[in-house]
């Protein structure tokens, strides 16, 4: 299998591997790339964040910083705070991205993350309310891709979850005499994370073959992609399928089964890292 054929006929090159149930990088079709996560202050680059995490999925590298600010709740939801996710794909992370306002892919990823937060109920917005109609927390979640090699969504959801688990919010009360908020930075509490959503993405080859955790090259050659989001109870939170090959019910069920297994792997990894950074 020469390098030449990979350059001239990349799809044929891939098909030869797929027939043998493996991929050019040596992985099996259902195998994820090596996954690592760093949480919190070990990330010297964003010490200003209230919570942070860096996730690597093979070469794909994503950092998430969460900044908490105080604001008045919206008039129509006086007992709720806000969560504002934003995914950035800067030009430094891959040649395909340009500087300037967010492109279509970044906007779609931001919307996907917003949907995951809403559908999974990982954070209940009522938990972010401090005083009904007066004061609530706003969580700005900035997810920045440092190195893009496919499967942005899995890495982004993982980084978001890890960063949120790292957030410590100071105690806030409203002084009844002055009506002003008083922040006690010495007394901090972790965010209440109600659910732990995990995304598992697949590329579809030749309309029938599913491979998990696709690289950028595999995404480009695929006839479609699908991302399944599940929580710790095996509940389906989201199915994201932006066009491409249709999937049979049986294939979709295969994806969901694999996603439930992946959830256990990711949850175990987060728990292990959280345990290592928790003061004894």
Q: Are the C-beta atoms of residues 190 and 40 closer than 8 Å to each other?
A: no
Residue 225 lies in a domain: yes
Proportion of the chain above pLDDT 90, given as a percent: 68
What average pLDDT score do residues 51-57 get? 94
Residue 3 lies in a domain: no
Residue 23 lies in a domain: no
Enclosing H/E stretch for 160: helix 152-165
Q: Which domain holds residue 220?
A: 28-277
Buried b (16+ CB within 10 A) or exposed e, 201-230: bbbbbeeebbbbbbbbbbbebbebbbbbbb
Label residue 244 by pLDDT band (50, 70, 90): confident
**In this predicted model, what pLDDT tens digit does every residue of 67-123 receive, in sequence order?**
999 999 998 999 999 999 999 999 999 988 988 888 899 999 999 999 999 999 999
**Window from 45-49, 218-222, 263-267 with minimum mean pLDDT:** 45-49
Residue 130 scores a pLDDT above 80: yes
Instruction: Identify the CATH number of the domain in which residue 194 sits.
Output: 3.30.230.70
Q: Are the C-beta atoms of residues 152 and 225 closer than 8 Å to each other?
A: no
Residue 3 scores a pLDDT above 80: no
CA-based nearest residue to 88, from 109, 67, 61: 109
Residue 162 lies in a domain: yes
Q: Output the pLDDT for position 29.
A: 93
Residue 129 scores a pLDDT above 90: yes
Q: Output the pLDDT for position 4.
A: 53
Q: Output the pLDDT for position 185.
A: 83
**In this predicted model, what pLDDT tens digit does every residue of 193-235 receive, in sequence order?**
999 999 999 999 888 889 999 999 999 999 999 999 999 999 9
Q: Output the pLDDT for position 180.
A: 82
Residue 18 lies in a domain: no
What average pLDDT score do residues 1-19 get? 76
Label residue 153 by pLDDT band (50, 70, 90): very high
Label residue 40 by pLDDT band (50, 70, 90): confident
- The tally of domains found in the chain comes to 1
CA-based nearest residue to 38, from 199, 195, 178, 146: 146
Count of beta carbons in the 10 Å neighbourhood of residue 38: 17
Label residue 1 by pLDDT band (50, 70, 90): very low
Residue 232 lies in a domain: yes
Residue 69 lies in a domain: yes
Q: Output the pLDDT for position 12.
A: 87
What average pLDDT score do residues 128-155 get? 95
Residue 98 lies in a domain: yes
At 12, list the tokens: 């044929």
Q: Output the pLDDT for position 221.
A: 92
- Whole-number average pLDDT of the chain: 90
Residue 2 scores a pLDDT above 60: no
C-alpha distances out from residue 20 to 23, 29, 207, 246, Å: 8, 10, 18, 24
């Amino acid at each position: 299998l020469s390098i030449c054929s990979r350059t001239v006929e990349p799809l044929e090159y891939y098909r030869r591997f797929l027939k043998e149930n493996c991929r050019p990088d040596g992985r099996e079709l259902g195998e994820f790339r090596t996954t690592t996560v760093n949480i919190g202050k070990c990330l010297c680059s964003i010490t200003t964040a209230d919570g942070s995490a860096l996730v690597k999925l093979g070469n794909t590298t994503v950092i998430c910083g969460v900044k908490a600010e105080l604001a008045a709740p919206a008039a129509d939801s006086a007992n709720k705070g806000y969560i504002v996710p934003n995914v950035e794909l800067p030009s430094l992370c891959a040649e395909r991205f340009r500087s300037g306002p967010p492109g279509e892919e970044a906007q779609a990823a931001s919307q996907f993350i917003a949907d995951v937060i809403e559908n999974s109920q990982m954070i209940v917005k009522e938990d972010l309310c401090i005083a009904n109609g007066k004061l609530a927390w706003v969580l700005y979640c900035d997810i920045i891709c440092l190195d893009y090699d496919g499967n942005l969504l899995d890495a982004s959801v993982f980084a978001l979850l890890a960063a949120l688990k790292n957030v410590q919010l100071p105690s806030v009360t409203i002084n009844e005499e002055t009506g002003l908020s008083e922040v006690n930075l010495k007394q901090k509490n972790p965010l209440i994370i109600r659910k732990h959503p995990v995304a598992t993405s697949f590329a579809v080859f030749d309309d029938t073959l599913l491979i998990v955790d696709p690289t950028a090259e595999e995404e480009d050659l695929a006839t479609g992609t699908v991302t399944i989001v599940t929580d710790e109870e095996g509940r389906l939170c989201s199915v994201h399928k932006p066009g491409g090959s249709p999937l049979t019910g049986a294939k979709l069920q295969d994806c969901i089964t694999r996603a439930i297994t992946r959830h256990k792997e990711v949850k175990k990894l987060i728990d292990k890292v959280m345990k290592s950074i928790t003061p004894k």
